[in-house]
Structure 1
Amino acid sequence: MSNFLFRCKFGIYFPDTFIKKSPYAAVHSLPWNAVTWTDGFWADAEKINTLSTVPHLQKMFEAKDISHVVENFRICAGESTGGFDGTVFGDGDFYKWLEAALYSAAKTGNTQLLAQIDNYIDLIGKAQLRDGYISTKQIIGERQADGISRLGDINDFEVYNFGHLFTASCLHKRITGKDNFLAIAEKAAGYLETLYHDSEKNGDAQTAVCPSHYMGLLELYRTTGKEKYRDLAKLAIALRDNVKDGLDDNQDRLPLKEHEKIIGHAVRANYLYAGVADLCLEEDNAEYRQVLHSVWRNLTQQKMYITGGCGALYNGASPYGNFFVHQLVHQAYGYEYQLPNITAYNETCASVGSVMWAYRMFQLEPKAQYFDIIEKTMLNTNMAAVSLDGKRFFYENMLRREKELPYELIWPLTRSEYILSYCCPPNIARAIAQSSEYAYTVSDNALWLGMYGANKARIELPNGAHFDLEQKTNYPYDD
């Protein structure tokens, strides 16, 4: 990676020299600020995201009477009083917003926002318990003795919250060079380490829904160089096979190495396979690679919309063709070619997850098919999920919207400023904020073009070659 520092308007930020390169990656990312969108579609999207979406989301997370997310952290930290309110996955969604805010602040030299981010990090640290546990619903519930306790219900999304904490803290280290957020994440990872080793000993395990922590733990490994985080991610994935009475909804009815088709909850599936691909970047595992290729083919050839949307059904059932033992599945991958237009679900988070998965597949084997999916999904589903002013959002992304239907759909036909399930807006915000990361990757002696857009880039290859590059295009408006 680069041996020089990149200067921003407000000081010096460090390139990714401390990020551990994955041994089984055929290509690697550039430093976070090596590429700048200069004009056209992505420059406009990034500007709207920075000036409109990021502050709007901050307002929503700060509002006590809307999301209650920051207020939950303040209650845990002893800075406020009251009970828990909002969604159980609000913590993780706030961490996703922190990623978007970090990118936006660093790229624009917004020192005020960077200072606010540090204040939020201090707040999260105060909310964290001594043993490393951090999930606001359970901390508040246990303190108020109202029957709520940790790890009692997988649908409380505790480990999902952990995973996004890990990822956000690694990005913070990558951009600022500071260790304060990373220290909180490592303390939380220590809690998971104890939990998973206990599960390994007693043979009992639960699947964490929307398993963002696989990617998060492996990012901790790359950022710190501590092998225990890679090993912990490997153990967490292996423990899935110990789940008793597993569900297709969580992709744990069958052992992982027996997966051939993509089924169940679309976000949970895409996060799972993105995490497995991340592990394959660190350790050679032919069986896991075979699973990834099989389910990827099933997704892209038989269960994905022309827009890149995925997870077609509001509610599905599995296994195929056997109603005596069927299991209901929410926002589901259905049967092959079961792709309705008016009732297409295509949750935005599933599409963001498919982009993360595709990018990791490209790192494993740099083939155009993966960036074809990234580009198609980013342009046609992810960007369509946010309004032109950057303040209103779709949760689902149907292909055709009809005002008059003989049945009622759960989500509105128009974009909303705030959605009860507010996971998608910060996911979109961080995807747009990080979009320049998809412009190029590098191998030992080559530069790989990923997503098109007018940009300027400072490139250094691992073989020592370095140069400045400028791309001029009006794509996607013109070829």
Structure 2
Amino acid sequence: MTDQPASPSRAAATPAAPRADVGVARPLPVGAVRLLPTGVLGAWQDRNAQATIPHCIDQLEAAGNLDNYRRLVGDIDPATPYRGFIFADSDVHKVIEAVAWEIGRSGTTAFDGWLDEVIDLLARAQEPDGYLMTAIQAGLRERWADLENAHELYVLGHMVQAAVALQRCAGRDDLLRVALRFVDLVDATFGPDGERVGICGHPEIETALVELYRETGEQRHLALAQHMIDLRGTGTLVAGGLGPQYFQDHEPVRQARTVAGHAVRQLYLAAGATDVYLETGEAELLDAMHDQWVDAHERKMYISGAFGSRHRDEAFGSAYELPSDRAYAETCATIADLHWSWRMFLADGGSRYGDVVEREIHNALAASLDAGGTRFFYANPLQSRPDKHSEESAPRERLPWYPCACCPPNIARAVAQMGAYVASVTDSEIAVHQFADADIDLPEALGSGTVRVRTRYPEDGVVEVTLDGTAPAGARLALRVPAWSTSTTVDGRAADPDPDGYLRVPLADGARLELDVAPRWTVAHPRVDAVRGCVALERGPLVYAIEQADMPDGVEVDDVRVHTDSPPRVTEGGVTVSAVAVPPPSALYATLGSTAPAPARPVTVTAIPFATWGNRTPGAMRVWLPTAD
């Protein structure tokens, strides 16, 4: 362990805990923001603890991830074949991290025995010089011989994040000692004074190293993260058939003004670069992050909060290239962006970041797993055709696990830490960014007691916030006003947010916020060719879809055209819309005007939240709907 002064782990038990006073807001520990099971997010966290995390633990056993360690230490026959992708160790690390945040959230001891067994296994498998990656130790590649594709530093990054989370939430440093030995080896090999020049083909270690610096106080970890960001875009990696953009190695980070390449890699890199800014205050780095964030969210984000429009390289496409049926929209990309957008909020504030996090949580992330919490989508298209065939990462229905299982454990860790994104503080105010039933402990600077948030959101737009305690004069409560809310009241009076998108009232007074969650039709930018002439239905933060299971007899999803001049109606089963069903012509192509219009059948269809589709039966679904107007 380090001799440097450690951070107060319990107070910093949050996924991003900056040391420097660079950002405009500070996060709260996951234990200080208790999402209650009476709300959507709190119930989700309970399901995560009771179903998703145990399911992931079982699948690590069934898929052979843990046997990959056991064969190295002789617990099973060393001749047992290695199983899984080369980066399978990272799934173990992500599940450990999910358990850590669950400990921080609820104080559970249910997973202690599993942690003891698995961390001991990792420690025994580690080589004397600190190296630990079972695929390389099994002989699948030579050490450091394929930085582009072997994921060695990526795997280490997830180990570091798990170790830091365990130290912060459970006060145990056994995994941290393992991780530090591996980091020491990497620093000696690839650090600023290292033996070699190299970076990982899959960014992720950067943000992990910054968190390690925050936890240990050792400047060298921050220096290593910054060094790896400095090298990105200098041609360090061998490009291969997908080109240097795939690895974000085509342009230096500070010069890049757009996001490109593999979506998950790009978004993890941006999160790491923003973490470095939050410790150094380097303006050039933040300027680049601002431009990249705008490009990602104003030109390349799906309405569901998903990213990545190309299957071949799991990548961002060009601006406005957002096909619905061929969307890759990997779950891990949404999670990576959640990390990045939260760090961007800590850096410079503003409601746009909370708006994006809300869109991601309630739509793309929520849709990625089933109602029971044990079946998952890897890709999250916005349209499923009736004759869609299952693909390895884009099946017709959710699966319990995947050969490349990066998404399920990533979901588990994201949900366990979700409370971290609900609120933040400054010296004079507490801001609430995500609305859910929650009890939020005040830090001493803002008084004493608990801020209580009570709401049926997103079912309705009423959010009641009260202070059970005392607050000093001048302390404020800031409430995010979503950009979609066309009318907002506070305590029954119309109110406009401040320029940053937040309404502010005295903290001691609390507030009753009412947002307009009436259903609304949304259109895309005219350059999004894939959905030209279509509309999407939204209500509050929720994106809606129509699904074959709800169609009237004889009506196909792809034949429905909606009337946008007829107001949608909220019903018990969803939102009911007026539409017509237009049978398709027989000809694939025909001269304009050469065929008589097909008879349109008036129908009423019920749209359901996109997050809930596919829970009944596989079938057609679409978010973007042609109009009949």
TM-based fold match above 0.5: yes
Q: Are the aligned partners of 1:30 and 1:459 in contact in 2 as well (CA < 8 Å)?
A: no
RMSD of aligned residue pairs (Cα, Å)? 2.1
Residue 334 of structure 1 and its aligned partner are, at CA, apart by 0.6
Report the counterpart of residue 332 of structure 1 in structure 2: 315
Query: Mapping of 1:17-416 within 5 angstroms?
Result: 21-38=19-36, 39-63=38-62, 67-81=63-77, 82-141=80-139, 148-153=141-146, 154-197=148-191, 204-205=197-198, 207-244=199-236, 246=239, 247-315=244-312, 330-405=313-388, 411-416=394-399
Maintained 8 Å contact 1:28/1:443:
yes
State the SS of the aligned residue for 1:257. coil
Q: Give, in angstroms, the shift of residue 400 of structure 1.
A: 0.9
Higher relative contact order (CA 8 A, sep 6+): 1
For 1:109 and 1:439, locate their aligned partners in 2 and report how far apart those are by CA, in whole Å: 19
Contact 2:271-2:339 within 8 A present in 1 as well: yes
* Secondary structure, aligned partner of 1:155: coil
- Structure whose residues are more often strand by fraction: 2
Equivalents in 1 of 2:416, 2:403: separation in Å?
23
What's the TM-score once normalised by structure 2's chain length? 0.67
**Structure 1 residues 321-353: Cα deviation after superposition (integer angstroms, max 9, x where no partner):** xxxxxxxxx011111111001111100000100
Letter in 1 for 2:67: E
* CA displacement at 1:465 relative to structure 2: 2.6
Displacement, 1:157?
1.1
Secondary structure of 2:200's aligned partner: coil
SS state of the match for residue 472, structure 1?
A: strand
Whether the 8 Å CA contact 1:200–1:239 is kept in 2: the answer is no
**1:417 paired residue number:** 400
Please, which runs of 5 or more residues in structure 1 have no aligned partner? 1-12, 142-146, 316-329
Tell me the SS of whatever aligns to 2:164: helix
User: Hey, what does 1:466 align to over in structure 2?
Assistant: 448
CA distance in 2, matches of 1:347, 1:443: 34
Q: Secondary structure at the match of 1:119?
A: helix
**Following the alignment from structure 1 to structure 2, what is the Cα–Cα distance between the partners of residues 94 and 375?**
28
Equivalent residue for 1:8? none
Aligned length: 442
CA distance in 1, matches of 2:411, 2:127: 30
Q: Which runs of 5+ in 2 are unaligned?
A: 1-8, 462-629
- 1:356 aligned counterpart, secondary structure: helix
Deviation of the 1:209 alpha carbon: 2.7
In structure 2, distance between residues paired with 1:470 and 1:260: 41
Identity %: 30
Task: Give, as a single letter, the amino acid of the residue that structure 1 aligns with 2:145.
Answer: G
Q: Residues 15 and 175 of structure 1 are in contact (CA less than 8 Å); yes or no, is this contact kept in structure 2?
A: no
Q: Is the contact made by 1:105 and 1:114 (CA closer than 8 Å) also made in structure 2?
A: no
Any conservation in 1 of the 2:188–2:195 contact (CA below 8 Å)?
no
Distance 1:78 1:279 in 2: 41
Given that 1:346 and 1:397 are in contact with CA atoms closer than 8 Å, whether structure 2 keeps it comes out as yes
The 2-side partners of 1:403 and 1:248 are apart by 34
- What letter corresponds to residue 301 of structure 2 in structure 1? M
CA distance in 1, matches of 2:392, 2:176: 42
* CA gap 1:310/1:35 in 2 versus in 1, 3 angstroms: same
Residue deviations 1:375-426 (CA, integer Å, cap 9, x gap)? 1011100110000000100000000111315997862110001111100001
Aligned to 1:428: 411
| Contact in 2 for aligned 1:102/1:114 (Cα 8 Å) | no
Structure 1 window deviating more from structure 2 (250-259 vs 264-273): it is 250-259
Give me the whole-angstrom Cα distance separating, in 2, the residues matched to 1:199 and 1:423.
Answer: 33
For residues 391 and 228 of structure 2, what CA distance do their matches in structure 1 show?
A: 40
**Taking structure 1 as reference, are residues 444 and 264 closer, same or farther at Cα in structure 2, changes over 3 Å only?**
same
On the 8 A contact 2:226/2:276 being kept in 1, the answer is yes
Q: What residue is the counterpart of 2:522 in the other structure?
A: none
Task: Give distance in 2, aligned partners of 1:122 and 1:406.
Answer: 43
Matched, 1:475 2:457: yes
More helix by share: 1
Give the SS at the match of 1:331.
coil
TM-score w.r.t. structure 1 length? 0.88
- In the TM superposition, what is the alpha-carbon distance from 1:108 to its structure 2 partner? 4.1
